[in-house]
């Protein structure tokens, strides 16, 4: 099966999964009431909301520059274009392969080792997870969530217990990953791991064995380079000012996205939430979309909006309409800018998607 045919099948699968997401999100919402709730909306408020949402991606690019900056310097647009292409791919194709597309693009265009790029993206995800956990703790401390309040989606029973379970799992993962990051960031540990890898062939092959020499050259030496790349990608941990700046950028990214929803809600007469309440709704949406989902989180975003807005007395019809439009406001500009970024940089979306789908973690040379 050729590359284009495989990608077209993936796109078709994304469309089908998204349609199913819509069905599950709206199957219990009366469409006449939904249409009535959307009749008086001032759609012009979606424009500044979309602009704020896009600006948060510019801040993401700045944060990625700081993370990468400890080992190499990328210009703003050298970071911004791969980031937008990656998020665009995640929005239209299943499997979230955009996470692999970004390091593949900077490897191709800026000769950045793939393992180094992946490590910096992992560092981003750790920062995002910690920020969301802190914001969710704030939500739990300031907003009363009725334990009996729940919504159903694709067999999931989404309620306070589910949110707390997700948060608890994130805390455990963050602690484990943070501990691993600290350990791997220690130069003595890096040297020990590399010595073990280099000596491994001698445990199984004689000193002059050609097979052992081949294993050393083809596997062990590249693995030591990967350890160097991982250490370089995590060197931000040892730079307090860079780490502090990344934490500040992370908080700004998520607050900007909450602000985008707050501004969009100004055009909805049936939704009168202040900024802190809308931030709570947005954080709940973020926790919902961490569940296994379709491309672009269609359905889960809307289900999260219905659940979150219900905490503040918003009807399910009004919340569903807001969830649908705010989701479109956030995702379609990202897709558009991602396509433009691919055009500007000359990146083939079909090509990079195919390469990343069929590539595990390559040995950097």
Cβ atoms 255, 276 nearer than 8 A = no
For the segment 52-74, what is each residue's pLDDT rounded down to a tens digit? 999 999 999 999 998 887 667 78
- Most distant pair of Cα atoms in the chain: their distance: 81
> Please, which pLDDT band fits residue 7 given cuts at 50, 70 and 90?
very low
Cβ atoms 273, 284 nearer than 8 A = no
SS3 169: helix
| Burial group, residue 40, by CB count within 10 angstroms (0-12, 13-18, 19+) | exposed
> Please, which pLDDT band fits residue 166 given cuts at 50, 70 and 90?
confident
For the segment 65-112, what is each residue's pLDDT rounded down to a tens digit? 988 876 677 889 989 999 999 998 888 776 677 788 888 888 888 888
Q: What are phi and psi of 269, to 5 degrees?
A: -60, -30
């Amino acid at each position: 099966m050729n590359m284009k045919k495989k990608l077209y099948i993936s796109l078709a699968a994304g469309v089908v999964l998204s349609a199913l997401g819509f069905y599950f999100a709206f199957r219990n919402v009366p469409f006449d009431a939904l249409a009535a709730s959307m009749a008086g909306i001032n759609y012009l408020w979606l424009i500044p909301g979309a602009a704020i949402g896009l600006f948060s991606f510019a801040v993401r690019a700045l944060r990625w520059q700081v993370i990468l900056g400890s080992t190499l310097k990328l210009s703003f647009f050298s970071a911004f274009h791969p980031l937008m292409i990656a998020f665009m791919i995640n929005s239209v194709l299943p499997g979230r392969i955009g996470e692999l597309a970004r390091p593949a693009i900077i490897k191709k265009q800026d000769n950045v080792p793939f393992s180094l790029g992946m490590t910096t993206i992992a560092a981003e995800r750790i920062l995002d997870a910690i920020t969301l956990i802190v914001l969710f703790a704030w939500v739990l401390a300031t907003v009363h969530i009725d334990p009996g309040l729940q919504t159903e989606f694709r067999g999931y029973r989404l309620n306070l217990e589910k949110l707390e379970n997700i948060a608890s799992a994130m805390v455990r993962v963050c602690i484990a990953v943070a501990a691993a990051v600290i350990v791997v960031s220690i130069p003595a540990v890096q040297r020990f791991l590399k010595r073990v890898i280099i000596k491994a062939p001698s445990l199984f092959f004689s000193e002059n064995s050609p097979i052992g020499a081949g294993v050393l050259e083809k596997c062990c030496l590249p693995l030591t380079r990967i350890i160097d790349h991982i250490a370089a990608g995590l060197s931000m941990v040892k730079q307090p000012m860079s780490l502090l700046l990344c934490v500040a950028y992370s908080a700004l990214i998520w607050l900007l996205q909450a602000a985008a929803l707050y501004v969009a809600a100004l055009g909805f007469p049936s939704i009168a939430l202040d900024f802190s309440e809308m931030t709570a709704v947005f954080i709940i949406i973020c926790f919902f979309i961490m569940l296994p989902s379709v491309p672009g989180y269609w359905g889960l975003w809307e289900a999260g909006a219905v659940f979150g807005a219900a905490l503040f007395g918003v009807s399910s019809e009004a919340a569903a309409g807001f969830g649908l439009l705010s989701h479109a406001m956030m995702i379609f500009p990202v897709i558009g800018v991602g396509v433009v970024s691919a055009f500007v940089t000359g990146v083939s979306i079909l090509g990079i998607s195919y390469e990343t789908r069929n590539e595990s973690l390559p040995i950097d040379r």
